[in-house]
Amino acid sequence: MAEAETRRRSRGGGGAARRAERTAVSVETAKYIERNIPNFEILTEEALEIIETNAETVLAEIGVNFVNNPGALELWRNAGAEITGERVRIPRGLARKLCSTAPSTITQHARNPNRNVEIGGRNLVLAPVYGPPFVHDAQGGRRYATMADFEKFVKLGYMSKWLHHSGGTVCEPTDIPVNKRHLDMLLAHMTLSDKPFMGSVTEPSRAQDSVEMCEILFGKDFVQENTVMTSLININSPMTFDDVMMGALEVYAKNNQACIVSPFIVGGAMAPVSVMGTLTQVLAEVMAGIAYSQLVRPGAPVIFGAFVTSIDMNSGAPTFGTPEASQITYGAGQLARRMNLPYRSAGSFTGSKLPDAQAAYETANSLNMGLLSGVNFMLHACGWLEGGLVSSFEKFVMDADQLGALHKMAQGVAIDEDSQAMGAIAEVGPGGHYLGCAHTQANFKSAFWRSEIFDFKPYETWSEEGARDTMALATERVKRQLDTYQQPPLDAGIHDALVEYVAKKKASMPDAFM
């Protein structure tokens, strides 16, 4: 592989190494966000207590279904739940008590330790879009995603300063058999990026493959002792835990790997049309799922997830960036903090078919709300389009750029003497201007966050340069980032072992497309 070759050559000659260093593209990644601003708390204590009481009622009286999973039913029965068929009714207080063994913060390790992330507390870790079967860009339009697209998105994620995480299924590589594509996806995350990533959840056996590939990458003992994957376990709302997702959760929990336990809710379809009703169901579902993870392995790392969107009652289409989804996200954050659990929600959500104004309004609504609602892990933080059916190349870099604004906002307001700038106000005085004053000269480089995509040029200059809209500017940025991408170094032995594992696994079974 080219990367390994480069490393060997670099080692061989100091001159080449120095040349490589001089020409290396900086792939700076910001540290995960450590908030220095308050959370926005939309719910009163009264509202929170109502939801918590009602959620216990839901678990005790209505219950949840664990489908095709006799082992889970057995675990629940032994823990004191009432089992009727596949229905699990959980006595008041039991689920919350079981959840208390889950850690409040998760350190997810990356193969580059500088890129480890702390998920929990006041932190916010940003990961890209997950799951779309289609991709879209200006040149090629909308089309089924391929492995080549997948690799491009992993490279863009690696190049994005404000993304802390490489994510998981950045798009579905539909040209690879379903039963094998997780291998190629993981190999791409492991070799094309050095940021933390997610494991496969589409079959318990694929979760096991993910663990085994991590054991090659990190070492077997390291994986058992540390969290190296954060994977997405969706709850089949309302209140159904299917065997595939639970099977994957079981594998990860047993191997000390983190799961996001996440209701997947289009309000009005999978949950009531009201905010209070949805929050009640979200809390009941998350408590049941996380309690189950702790039955599998007490102390297993988990994240309180909430994927919530509203519905257009005229057409039945899901809608994004809406005020009701924001209210639910704010409220779920409060509920998660009261359980002392890391919280996953929000993202670059939009229902638009293009990375246009609709997409940006909806996305900005959700990103801002995600920051202020105390989210600790934001999946889908960039690149989401068309209700999650499409990963957009242009929107990926547009959103990723906006994530920089979240970093700056989260820093809060410095109040030290230099920041008070009383000397500058005295120096400039009434009617003066600050552009040349000493305080401005000393601070201007870090004073203002700056978009690397948006255009601030005068109209005339912008016109002469082709009157490009944001999408055109983003197309250019995608190309520039992919053109300048350089693979992060990886030990050649590890690299070869991963490639060999993937090849062997693929050869061990016939292609399957479901």
CB of 3 to a copy of itself, least distance (A): 34
**Interactions with a copy of itself, residue window 150-169 (CB under 8 A):** none
DSSP class of 113: G
Q: What angle do CA 62, 67, 70 make, to 5 degrees?
A: 105
Q: Per CB under 8 A, which of residues 162..221 are in contact with a copy of itself?
A: none
What are phi and psi for residue 54, nearest 5 degrees? -65, -35
Q: Which stretch binds a copy of itself (CB under 8 A): 114-122, 184-192, 226-234, 355-363?
A: 355-363
Compute the 3-state secondary structure of the chain and give helix, strand, coil in percent, each to the nearest 5: 50, 15, 35
Min dist. Cβ of residue 513 to a copy of itself (A) = 22
Least distance CB 277 / a copy of itself (angstroms): 3
Q: Specify the residue, 46 or 221, whose C-beta has the smaller distance to a copy of itself.
A: 46
Query: Judged by CB under 8 A, which stretch of 15-23, 103-111, 234-242, 499-507 contacts a copy of itself?
Result: 234-242
Closest CB 84 distance from a copy of itself, rounded Å: 11
Query: Contacts with a copy of itself in 58-87 (CB under 8 A)?
Result: 58, 61-65, 87
Pick the closer one to a copy of itself by CB: 64 or 217: 64
Comparing CB distances to a copy of itself, the nearer of 87 and 254 is 87
Stretch that binds a copy of itself, among 5-13, 55-63, 90-98, 246-254 (CB under 8 A): 55-63
With CB under 8 A as the contact rule, the residue among 405, 482, 494, 499 that binds a copy of itself is 405
- Locate 321 and state its tokens: 């960036």
Question: CB neighbours of 66 closer than 8 A, spacing ≥ 6?
Answer: 72, 73, 76, 86, 88, 241, 243, 246, 292
Q: Which is nearer to a copy of itself, 379 or 474 (CB)?
A: 474
DSSP state of 167: B
Q: How far is the CB of 384 from a copy of itself (least distance, A)?
A: 13
3-class SS at 83? strand
Q: How far is the CB of 139 from a copy of itself (least distance, A)?
A: 15
Q: Which residues of 417-430 are buried (b: 16+ CB within 10 A; e: fewer)?
A: eeeebeebeeebee
Q: Which of 269, 482, 497, 499 binds a copy of itself (CB under 8 A)?
A: 269
Site for a copy of itself, residues 408 to 467, rule: CB under 8 A: 408-409, 412-415, 418-422, 424-426, 428-435, 439-440, 443-445, 447-451, 453-459, 462-463, 467
Q: In what order do the strands lie in the sheet with 384-385?
A: 141-144, 134-137, 390-392, 384-385
Q: Does 363 help bind a copy of itself (rule: CB under 8 A)?
A: yes
Task: Give me the phi and psi of 165, to 5 degrees please.
Answer: -140, 140
Ranges within 295-324 binding a copy of itself (CB under 8 A): 310-319, 321-324
> How many residues line the site for a copy of itself (CB under 8 A)?
124
How far is C-alpha 307 from the chain's CA centre? 11
Would you call 18 helix, strand, or coil by DSSP? helix
Q: Which of residues 7-36 bind a copy of itself (CB under 8 A)?
A: none
Both tokens of residue 146? 């391929």
Considering only 19-27, 97-105, 207-215, 325-333, which stretch makes contact with a copy of itself by CB under 8 A?
A: 325-333
The whole-angstrom separation of Cα 91 and Cα 83 is 11
Token digits for 470? 């944001």
Q: Looking only at residues 465 through 504 of this chain, which bind a copy of itself when binding is defined by CB under 8 A?
A: 467, 469-471, 474
- Tokens 């890209």 correspond to what residue? 128
Integer Cα distance of 500 and 180 in angstroms:
14
Peptide bond before 238: cis, by omega within 30 degrees of 0? Answer: yes
Listed ranges 22-30, 37-45, 171-179, 294-302: which one lies at the site for a copy of itself (CB under 8 A)? 37-45
Bridge-based pairing state of the strands 302-305 and 230-235: unpaired
DSSP assignment letter at 229: B
Q: For a copy of itself, which residue of 122, 161, 254, 353 counts as binding (CB under 8 A)? A: 353
Residues 372-391 that bind a copy of itself (CB under 8 A): 372, 386, 389
The structure tokens 């863009």 sit at 156
Residue in 245, 275, 295, 498 binding a copy of itself, rule: CB under 8 A: 275
Please answer whether residues 380 and 388 qualify as being in contact, where contact means their C-beta atoms are separated by less than 8 angstroms: yes
**Min. distance of Cβ 162 from a copy of itself in angstroms?**
12
